[in-house]
Structure 1
Amino acid sequence: MLNPVNPYIVLDELCLQATTRTIATLKILHQVLEQQSQAKPLDFSIATIGRLSHQQGGPSIQTIRNRTGKHFKELIEAWAAYSGTTCKKPLSVRQKQLLNSNDQNILGSVDDPVIRAVMGTLIAERNKYRDQLNVLKANADIFIDRTQDQQTDVLSSMASLTPIELESLRTAVSADFMERMHWTVMPTGQVKDEDGREVYRRGYVNGLRKLIDIGNKL
């Protein structure tokens, strides 16, 4: 999995195209999220963040949920991913107790001690993988290791690029091309037009440049 983008970089990008008033609220929200990243349990749900933010003069729950609150949600999602969790409300103590109680009831119904021990191990593994899955869902960008053979296939495909095709890739991410299109490349590889609208999502330019570097070395 790719490392989550540093939320400080996301904040800088969001502020570049924002009004003075929006920048102020973004910074308040950022401070709330930074404080929340140190709290236990980690809770980056909109309900919790919106309540804390509103108390400090930042965007409210409804403001964040509105269609115009996309930039606020992006910052919250960035902090959640960076902290290794999601924007889902964490389970309460009572909910965890109920889940544990159900597991105990299942184990308690098994008379054979060997089978009970095996089931206990399986339940523990299930809980661990479920938690890991929830963390993975927090990231939109997931890198899958496709083994060495498939990596070789990628290199072979890059080697088959003609000089014209490789030059086209260079042009697609060149400073001259971006300037002619009046586009801006953000530090995270995202491309925005002159009105601040997203043309290519985060990672686009950085990914193409990595491919070009591979092609240059072949």
Structure 2
Amino acid sequence: MQIDINAVLETLKAGKSAKTQASLDKLNEALKAYYESGKRDFSITTIGRVSAEANGVGYQSIRATANKHYRDLIEAWAAKAQTTTKKPPSVAARKSGQDYQLLERIDDPAVRALFGQIIRERDRYRSEANMLKNQTQIVIDKRPTAYSEPQSDASVELLPSLKGICSDNEIKALQTVCTDEWLEKLGFQANKLGQVKDELGTEILPRGFLTGLKKILGEIDE
């Protein structure tokens, strides 16, 4: 698409401070390099990360209400690339729904990896449960069993602490997931039942998720 990016840039720079003009130039350089690389994800989240990596304005600055000029420049490059600033759906998101859409919105790689592992474990258990439900033949063993008196000195095996399973960074990442600040950054809200929903009221994480995670972390009592 024939779009004069230079003309758009000069229009956006008109009347702006020297600092803002320099930031626009820096963002334009990052967008040009990104466009020429052949990539076509011009979402604010992605471009914010790309710009920050190039020592330019980051995601928070771009999405700020007062900084529409940054978003207008991104939209111009997106139009030139014949796309929009909406994030294109990933293959994983199309296959697995909202859970993997959530993963795409998590910038922290450690938190994203932990969430991915939790989702995969849940999917595995769900698959096993569904397989058991499909078993049509149930065999009940009615043979008598010999009673054995319980041992009074039976040993009790304690589960290892979270410290023995996860690294400090992993524990810190899990603790971050439980904070209201982190959820609000993604536009999510948690209720007292441990359920997480987005701004449209769509369930992102089921009831009991956050409360269970906090119990594992030892932040709340059983």
State the TM-score bracket (shorter-chain normalisation): 0.3 to 0.5
TM-score by length of 2: 0.40
Higher helix share: 1
* Higher radius of gyration, 1 or 2: 2
TM-score by length of 1: 0.41
Identify which of structures 1 and 2 has the higher relative contact order when contacts are C-alpha pairs closer than 8 Å and 6+ apart: 1
